[in-house]
Structure 1
C-alpha cells in the first residue's frame, strides 16, 4: 500500500475521534512504526502489509485518546527525549519557552546550580543538564511513581555520557526543605500542578495524566504558593526564578510573587499563542557589605 494512503487513513480515524492534530499524529505514528524520522516519510512510497496493520493498531489506540507520547513511549523537551507512560505527567512543548528563558538567565553564570521543583519525568532538569554540562542540576519530586520515571530517565542520560542530576524525594510544601541549598541556587524552575480544580480538560489529560500533577487547588495556585516560598529561600541573591502557570493566572501568579519583598523584576511571559504561560523574577540582590550564607558578601 502507498504510505500516503495509510497515513491518510490514520489521519481520518484520528480526526473523527477529535484528536487536535490528526495529520501530525498520524505521521509521527507512521515514523515510529517505520523507525524513521518523520521528515523522511515523503521518501518512502510503499509499505508492506505488516506496517499498515501496525499503523492501524496504533492509530486505533490514539483514537481512544491515549496520549501520543504514551504510544511512542517518549516525549521530547528541548535537547532531550525522556521515557513517559502511566503515572507521570507528559511534558508539553510550551515548557520549552521556560527552558529557553532559563538558559538565557544563566548565560553569564559559570558552573551554575539549577533546581527543578515538581520535576515529574525529569525532562526539564535533564534539558538543563544537557544544555549546560557545567551545571549542577537538582530535581525534586514528591510522587513515588513519577520519581521512578525521573530516576529511569536520569540513569539513561548518565549512561549516554551526560552529567548526573541529583534527585530528591520531597514535597515543595515541606518546611526546611533542601537546607544544604539555602541561598546557593542560581536558577529555580518549576512546572507545577496549576490547573484550577474542576476545569474541563481533554481526555488525554483527565484519563491519563496523574490528577496530582495537573490540578492545583480551587484557583490552581496552592502548589505555586509553596514553590514561591521554597524557591525564595534557596535562591542566591540576584538569582532567577521561573514558574509555569495556567493561562487564567496571568494576573494572580505574578501578584503572588510581587507580594514577596525578597523578589523583584517580576515579569509575565506569553506562549506562542499570546496566552499567559510563565512568570519570572529575581531574588533581590544583597545590600553592599551584607553577609551571606557561607561567608559570601
Structure 2
C-alpha cells in the first residue's frame, strides 16, 4: 500500500474544512513541503516497524511521512478538531488505521503513551518546545532518540556546549538525558503561514542508564536555574540564596571540585550534578546523619 503525502493545496483545503486558522498563540505553522517532512523523518532515522510519538501533528503532513517510512505513530494533539480529523486523513492517504493512535490531550499533561514509543519526532511551536521536550524525556524513559523542528534559537540553545554565550538552563537540562546535536536547516518558505523566525532540526540520543535519581535531578535542576538566573555573577553569589550564604555556597562548590569564582556557563551537566550531590552531603553532615 502506497502512502501519499499532503501538498500545499490539500493542506489549505483541510484547514478550511475544519475552520482552522493558524494562530500565533498556538505557534501553528503547517509544513506544506513533502521533501521537508521526509528530511525530518530521515534525520530521526525512523525504521520500519518502529513506534514513533509525534507531538502536535496538526493536519498530518509529518504524520504521513513517518507512516510512509513504515513506522507506527502515536500522535498527541491538543486541538480537538485536528485530533478528530487525523485518522480520516491518514486513511485517505493509504495507511492502515491500526498504525495510528491519536491522543487528544495537552502534551504537557500526558503521562502515558500507548505503545511505549522509542522515537520522538515533532514540529514544535517555539513557546512550548523546551517544556514539552523536558516533560517527555522526564516522563517516558522508553524514548531513546528523536528529532524535532523548533525555532533556530531554541535548537541552538539545546545543542549548545559549556563556554558558549547561548549555553544556559535548557542546554544543561537537555544534556541530563543525553547528547544533543543540530540535525539540519529548514527554509521559512516550507511553512504556511511563513513564520518570522528561522527553524532548525535538533536531535538527541538518550544516554545509556540513568544519570541520577529523581531527587538528584530535581536538586540539580534547582541549582542550574539558580546559576543561570544570575549568570553574570560568580557561582558563590548566584547560589548563595540556595545555600544560605556565599560562604556556604563556596564550601559546597569547593567540595565538588568547582571554583566558587566560576560561572554557570562554564559547567557541564556532570559538574552541576556533582554540586547537587555534595550539597546533599553537606546538609547530611550538618544534621549529624
TM-score, scaled relative to structure 2: 0.51
- Give the secondary-structure state (helix, strand or coil) at the position aligned to 1:236: coil
CA pair 231-129 structure 1, distance change in 2 beyond 3 A: farther
Matches within 5 A, 1:1-297: 69=8, 72-74=9-11, 83-85=14-16, 86-87=19-20, 89-93=29-33, 94-102=36-44, 104=45, 106-107=46-47, 111-132=49-70, 135-157=71-93, 164-174=99-109, 177-178=111-112, 180-181=114-115, 184-194=116-126, 216=127, 222-236=128-142, 239-255=144-160, 256=170, 258-260=172-174, 262-271=176-185, 277-286=200-209
User: Alpha-carbon deviations, 1:204-224, whole Å to 9, x = none?
Assistant: xxxxxxxxxxxx2xxxxx343
Cα distance in structure 1, aligned partners of 2:139 and 2:111: 9
Cα distance in structure 2, aligned partners of 1:146 and 1:124: 14
- Give the secondary-structure state (helix, strand or coil) at the position aligned to 2:108: coil
Cα distance in structure 2, aligned partners of 1:273 and 1:147: 27
Match of 2:226 in 1: none
CA pair 265-172 structure 1, distance change in 2 beyond 3 A: same
TM-score, scaled relative to structure 1: 0.50
CA contact (8 A) 2:174 2:180 kept: no
Cα distance in structure 1, aligned partners of 2:50 and 2:91: 21
* Number of residue pairs the alignment of both structures matches: 175
CA pair 157-166 structure 1, distance change in 2 beyond 3 A: farther
Structure 2, unmatched stretches of 5+, are: 1-6, 23-28, 161-169, 189-197, 211-289
